[in-house]
A = this chain, B = another copy of it.
Amino acid sequence: MRRWNGWGEETTAMELPAAGREFLAEAIGPGMALADASLEAVLAKVPASRLAEHPLVIREAHDRLMHARGQSLADWLAMREGEFGLFPDGVAYPQSAEQIRELMRYAEAQDCLLIPYGGGTSVAGHINPPASDKPVLTVSLAHMNRLLELDEESLVATFGPGANGPQVESQLRARGYTLGHFPQSWELSTLGGWVASRSSGQQSLRYGRIEQLFAGGTLETFAGSLEIPTFPASSAGPDLRELVLGSEGRFGVISSVKVRISRLAEQESFYVVFLPSWERGLAAMRSLAQARVQLSMLRLSNAVETRTQLTLAGHPGQIAWLERYLNWRGAGEDKCMLTFGVTGSRAQNAASLKAARRMLKDFGGVFTGTLLGRKWEASRFRSPYLRETLWQAGYVVDTLETATDWSNVDNLLNRIESNLRGGLAAEGERVHVFTHLSHVYGEGSSIYTTYVFRPASSYAKTHERWRRLKESTSRVIVENRGTISHQHGVGKDHAPYLPTEKGELGMATLRTLAAHFDPAGRLNPGTLLQD
């Protein structure tokens, strides 16, 4: 069963090895536990619904609780404390575009707000009900998860918007295809959610971001249905797909999604190389991306992340052996782990592997083969479970991400890390901070930073610690040529920082579009645009 107060399946758990616990204790001090609330206690707090009866609208406390919060750290703390605050007044699970339109008519009749809901995996407050005099209806697309059409010649598949990662891939794989979109949230997040929030998957280097995969579909708006036909490319004016991508439920509800798929590749492997320093690793990443070496994924951990990952992996004996070997080969204390993948025909992969190895060798890279690559592959969707593991051990973990041009990657990364590292110094608390680059482009890279700190003596004070770290670092990002998000979207948490990158006229343009599609302002208010 899905956890009501955290990430993923209840039956899935990650171990924190003893060495990991010691490592964190040394880095930031021993863990401090806060008590979790019970489900019963929270259910008792769900207030009466303000919505009128409708055959499609469920007003049960449990459904409303399960759709009240996403997976941001603020959501996590609220869920663990049992202080959800706001709940939707009802949840609907439409099964067709017509039922979505029916629910939109109901929303007009009830004068209520409407929140489109995919997998509920937002880490930026996309689906949280706002405080409002109006009732709130959450529309979950979970029941619209089927593969509806497959054009095997054009490699275009049509899905219901609520298909989550496993549902997308299992329906395609049965026929020999893949979408190739694997965000870390893949187990729970949905196709419609990926489109609405412009998500990016771990193998974007081969398959592209969701922007490249989204070929067309339908958006149900309060001004009518926007049907976007598929073309391989077009110069016929502005591309309407781009208004659906990143619309975050403000312009409409996505009722069908057409995506560009691929035949399953003949072969796929992942390899790990250690670079002797961050400078060399960064230069290698840029070279590989700009030389268009045909890789399917590329990820570079900085020295602290490398050390943290090797420690948390357990198996201290094996790791010690690996480190002696790496040390002997010149990748010592400052070593950075680089993981790369090749996906394609055997011939393509052999050529790409050769090119990558040659280039990495020039930067002092020590190749270790596929063993660690297979480990990465096996645990590629496990990181979100780590929050639960660390919480049990008395730590809080969150991540922050952005993207910037290559000439600014190192500068921005250092500013983010140092802002987080010293962010709780006033309270005498340390923050453990590490970073990787995992989406690279000719122009630049994403920057993905993880930070671990200790809870304070209460939930309120812990939330306050997080808020201080998150807000000040978000400012650091947008004031230093970073985008407020490379892959998580804007939601409510990032909305205050959006104007810095979109500008005054850009923000006015987005508001004009929202008013065009949703004149009464019912759709997901507070998300993307603060007003």
Q: Mark A residues whose CB is within 8 Å of B.
A: 151, 153-156, 197-200, 206, 209, 211, 215, 221, 223-240, 242-243, 245-248, 260, 262-263, 286, 290-294, 344-345, 347-348, 351, 354-355, 403-408, 439-446, 481-490, 494, 498, 501-506, 508-510, 512-513, 516-517, 528
Contact = CB atoms under 8 A, between A and B. Distances in A.
Contacts of A221: 505
Given A231-B483, A404-B232, A223 B505 contact: yes
A250 to B, nearest CB: 9
B505 A234 contact: no
A155 B290 contact: yes
Nearest to A230: B405
Given A237-B502, A405-B154, A509 B232 contact: no
Contact of A154 (B228, B245, B406, B528): B406
A237 B524 CA distance: 14
Taken together, the copies of this chain in the complex come to: 2
Contact of A153 (B151, B209, B407): B407
B405 A232 contact: yes
Nearest to A527: B237
Given A231-B483, A234-B485, A237-B528, 4 more contacts: A223-B508, A233-B486, A291-B345, A509-B513
A237 B508 contact: no
Contacts of A260: 442-443
29 contacts: A151-B405, A155-B406, A155-B442, A198-B237, A209-B233, A221-B505, A224-B505, A226-B503, A226-B505, A226-B506, A231-B443, A231-B483, A232-B403, A232-B441, A232-B443, A232-B446, A234-B483, A235-B490, A236-B489, A236-B502, A237-B528, A238-B247, A238-B513, A240-B506, A262-B290, A292-B294, A293-B348, A347-B354, A348-B355
A127 to B, nearest CB: 16
A478 to B, nearest CB: 9
Contacts of A155: 290, 406, 442-443
A482 to B, nearest CB: 8
A359 to B, nearest CB: 10
B286 A153 contact: yes
B235 A489 contact: yes
Given A226-B506, A355-B348, A444 B294 contact: no
Given A290-B263, A405-B230, A504-B224, A484 B442 contact: no
B501 A512 contact: no
A444 B291 contact: no
B235 A246 contact: yes
Q: 3 nearest interchain CB pairs?
A: A232-B444, A242-B242, A198-B235
Contacts of A290: 155, 262-263
Q: By CB atoms of chain B within 10 A, which of A209, A237, A248 has the most? A: A237
B232 A445 contact: yes
A237 B232 contact: no
B156 A405 contact: yes
A263 to B, nearest CB: 7
Contacts of A404: 231-232
A243 B233 contact: no
Contacts of A235: 197-200, 246, 483, 485-490
A351 B229 CA distance: 36
A245 to B, nearest CB: 7
Contact of A490 (B226, B233, B237, B481): B237
A510 to B, nearest CB: 6
A304 B323 CA distance: 66
